[in-house]
Structure 1
């Protein structure tokens, strides 16, 4: 029975079943959150673009950044609710996916129950935090801080309602089991509080290795695993109020530089919808498609180009793979080879600006974003050369490879003319930031305006009015998932710092044999593991503030260290069996994970060797600063 049949006013409607009422409630709640979230994305674009235009005319709007910051917290919170409704919060599903269907269903109930428990735990603290902000007044607009901070409890209430509806879809037995597990865990921590307090910093292992690890392995979203472990630690072994957790999450999500994240996510979707990615790939295919491993070179080149636009690895792969894979299959490449090359190219291009990870590093460590944007291109090009060499070697082993004739110069020229406006976009973005014309946040609005003009005037037909609202809602969801992780990891990093862990870590790292060389090697290994288990942004937000000062003590350039840790995380992120983006590549390429398990290691091994070269030859990162 459709949901529409159960709405009031429908004649002769059959009695609704509970699942029908749940579907109606979920649909209306989703609309109530998605529409404001989508409008907030559009408002941020308009406000920032208006600010750029007014400044260019010599009449700057003094309150534009302030209003953008106020709306940004609302966007982050409502976006995170949309991500809950859509199931798009980042989580590790490898272990849960190997269980029986019955066990998977129970783990899903546990994941939603953990989210619900966290929201209940911090709801009162969120209201207290909002009340505290009433004494703050914004400098330009003169608004009370409550207007901005109210986004947190409103977001928590909407997330609670969404989680409740999702829990209602599970059976009583599952819910009782989840309640017993979560209640029993809370009781154990309460009873063991004196013993845990007496353990000193060793208690961190219980919360931030044991409890956090169990949550992540069980499929609890990473952001909520971070936040729950932090809240449990503070409640059990300290007297710190939970309003601190809310405040640190707010601070972590509210850096104006992070506003670039939703804007670049929106830009990436526009590049795909308008057909800009397709014409760029078509030009590269006409130029290189006839040479040995030519289509592999095209994929590598396309990932380099698109990475400079979307800033999101998933968006990059989604823009390139559907366009290239059918032709590459026709030319004889195996599915496992395609998947391996796609995943490796995703790891290769992590430092191409305006990578969201670069923006996150600049936000939490204070490294110049212009310097990171300048430095990020050459390391990616070095790794692209390494992958191209491996691709050429692998192409020689494909017995059924198809020979393709060279495209006529007229075809190459025609595709170049068609693609040229799209090809200018990544260079426009990088030049505007590096030359100081616009900030990383502002330049994304310039890119959005440019992409809209191309979609409407040049590449007509791909952009439809009915696609705008879903695109904005999708942007809000992906951005909310990312920003909530940043906020939760910020709170967790604060708790680790206050515990003295950072000082202990500094002493341990400083005592590493080999000095600077030893520290760099340990950093490479550590961030490969972190990238595999956590994903790049939470790992950077969590460990960046702790490890960058240590790198500075060893005399390592902060930009060079940024390149090393980003690329190391990229390797872990795309490495099976735990790398989250490996499975994203499988989904996008419509290839089974098993197909690439054996073939991918030669690509990842080559990337690791390239990473070692970049690690011990700092010039590749700092030569153009």
Structure 2
């Protein structure tokens, strides 16, 4: 059985070295076993891919992506930026704080960190550079702050985690609020310190009327997270139904209220959303095949025995390390599909709260979005800023340290993530 693991990993890594996308690399690594083993067939491979996506909960993923895309094309991003600019822009380093606070707000709309980078980075990185910020700093803070979009509700990763583990999605959404706010607040403090050190500019103080106008203009845009979380926690809708409501609400704002979206724009938005959704879900389907193959050769039982020997107090730190390492090389969704069956028995036996376990895993995987070689948010941000990736790593490091600090707090102080779900009765 050990030889199966080694050969799978060797084939997978070898294929990745040829720059084959992760999802195809996973499938190609599995294919020889389905061709050579009499008990495995190519038809079974296709069935396992389908079963990996055959979940009503997973329907929420394309709808949340679509809601974010509609809000983006309807210029909601501009309204969120205007609000952030009015509130924190006058502080030294204010434009960096606008970057962080807008990421928090936009993450509460789209549930996707990559959508955050694409939507905000193309506007904020050039703007920060024109205002006197170092390009490396602008790229680093944009990549790091986008991670918040995976942690604050509605989070696509939490939806997928809920489908894999049957953990309450409403409870996870609420659990992500405090860590998301702590990360955002910590990044603003880092921004202020860096701004003082490097002499970054501050903007003029806006009038009360301007602040009130920015709040009024963005109030409806901020209604999506309220609609989603309120609907799920209140028991009125499921996560999938909430995602459909988010799309309808976004269409109402874009087509009727703001009138910034035309009907002829929608086919393009639908097409781009489908393409954006297909990438992670195809990777999830491929990872389901990989996980099935591991289970077929009883590999999880070997790993479960090793994990079972870990003391309960060390289990969550182990989970964090495992998912941080995996997130460095894999997308979050396939990493979840592969490791959830391995870790589940030990987590259950140790009596770890499933919501705390989920948040530790999600934050750990989110950290992988800014760590090379995978580091998708870092890659996108660097591409937008036309900057070599490694030049953005050093200025990004203090922001990455904030994420690690909140992750440690989540492990050591369970109330950080459990208090809100308990208050809401989730």
Task: Normalising by structure 2, report the TM-score.
Answer: 0.94
Q: CA shift at 1:616, angstroms?
A: 1.4
Equivalent pair of 1:528/1:573 in contact (CA under 8 Å): no
Match of 1:480 among 254, 278, 281: 278
Q: CA RMSD in A?
A: 1.7
Kindly report which structure 2 residues correspond to 1:333-344, keeping only aligned pairs within 5 A, or say none: 333-344=133-144
Match of 1:508 among 298, 301, 306: 306
Choose 1 or 2 for highest CA Rg: 1
The 3 A distance-change label for structure 1 pair 425 and 348 is: closer
Other-structure match for 2:340: 544
The 3 A distance-change label for structure 1 pair 479 and 577 is: closer
Kindly report which structure 2 residues correspond to 1:419-568, keeping only aligned pairs within 5 A, or say none: 419-460=218-259, 462-512=260-310, 515-568=311-364
Query: 2:244 & 2:4 partners in 1: Cα distance?
Result: 46
Query: 2:113 & 2:17 partners in 1: Cα distance?
Result: 23
Equivalent pair of 1:222/1:534 in contact (CA under 8 Å): yes
Query: 2:219 & 2:385 partners in 1: Cα distance?
Result: 27
Paired residue secondary structure (2:138): helix
Other-structure match for 2:382: 586
Residue 415 in 1 paired to residue 214 in 2? yes
For residues 301-358 of structure 1, give each alpha carbon's deviation from its aligned partner in whole angstroms, at most 9, with x where no partner exists.
2111111221221111222223333442333211111111111112234221221111
Query: 2:258 & 2:360 partners in 1: Cα distance?
Result: 38
Kindly report which structure 2 residues correspond to 1:40-59, keeping only aligned pairs within 5 A, or say none: none
Query: 2:299 & 2:337 partners in 1: Cα distance?
Result: 16
For residues 247-306 of structure 1, give each alpha carbon's deviation from its aligned partner in whole angstroms, at most 9, with x where no partner exists.
111111121111111111111111111111211110110111001232222222211111
Other-structure match for 2:96: 296
Query: 1:305 & 1:547 partners in 2: Cα distance?
Result: 33
Match of 2:106 among 294, 306, 310: 306
Which runs of at least 4 in structure 1 moved beyond 3 Å after TM superposition? 234-238, 588-592
Q: CA shift at 1:534, angstroms?
A: 0.6
Match of 1:323 among 116, 123, 130: 123
Query: 1:283 & 1:607 partners in 2: Cα distance?
Result: 25
Which structure has the higher relative contact order (CA within 8 Å, separation 6+)? 2
Paired residue secondary structure (2:64): helix
Other-structure match for 1:182: none
Query: 1:277 & 1:485 partners in 2: Cα distance?
Result: 28
Query: 2:220 & 2:374 partners in 1: Cα distance?
Result: 39
Kindly report which structure 2 residues correspond to 1:195-206, keeping only aligned pairs within 5 A, or say none: 200-206=1-7
Query: 2:270 & 2:148 partners in 1: Cα distance?
Result: 29
Query: 1:204 & 1:411 partners in 2: Cα distance?
Result: 60
Q: CA shift at 1:507, angstroms?
A: 0.8
Equivalent pair of 1:532/1:580 in contact (CA under 8 Å): no
Other-structure match for 1:624: 420
Equivalent pair of 1:361/1:562 in contact (CA under 8 Å): yes
Structure 1: gaps of 5 or more residues: 1-199
Query: 1:296 & 1:549 partners in 2: Cα distance?
Result: 43
Equivalent pair of 2:143/2:381 in contact (CA under 8 Å): yes
Query: 1:319 & 1:203 partners in 2: Cα distance?
Result: 42
Paired residue secondary structure (1:517): helix
For residues 75-118 of structure 1, give each alpha carbon's deviation from its aligned partner in whole angstroms, at most 9, with x where no partner exists.
xxxxxxxxxxxxxxxxxxxxxxxxxxxxxxxxxxxxxxxxxxxx
Equivalent pair of 2:89/2:202 in contact (CA under 8 Å): no
For residues 384-430 of structure 1, give each alpha carbon's deviation from its aligned partner in whole angstroms, at most 9, with x where no partner exists.
2222221121111123x223221011111111111111122221222
Query: 1:346 & 1:402 partners in 2: Cα distance?
Result: 22
Query: 2:113 & 2:147 partners in 1: Cα distance?
Result: 8
Paired residue secondary structure (1:290): coil
Query: 1:466 & 1:349 partners in 2: Cα distance?
Result: 29
Equivalent pair of 1:360/1:541 in contact (CA under 8 Å): no
Residue 574 in 1 paired to residue 390 in 2? no
Equivalent pair of 2:114/2:376 in contact (CA under 8 Å): no
The 3 A distance-change label for structure 1 pair 480 and 246 is: same
For residues 181-236 of structure 1, give each alpha carbon's deviation from its aligned partner in whole angstroms, at most 9, with x where no partner exists.
xxxxxxxxxxxxxxxxxxx33222111x1001111222112112112222222333
Structure 2: gaps of 5 or more residues: 422-426
Paired residue secondary structure (1:599): helix
The 3 A distance-change label for structure 1 pair 421 and 329 is: same
Match of 2:56 among 248, 256, 265: 256
Q: CA shift at 1:439, angstroms?
A: 1.3
Query: 1:444 & 1:548 partners in 2: Cα distance?
Result: 28
Kindly report which structure 2 residues correspond to 1:212-227, keeping only aligned pairs within 5 A, or say none: 212-227=12-27
Query: 2:63 & 2:126 partners in 1: Cα distance?
Result: 30
Equivalent pair of 1:201/1:499 in contact (CA under 8 Å): no
Query: 1:593 & 1:254 partners in 2: Cα distance?
Result: 37
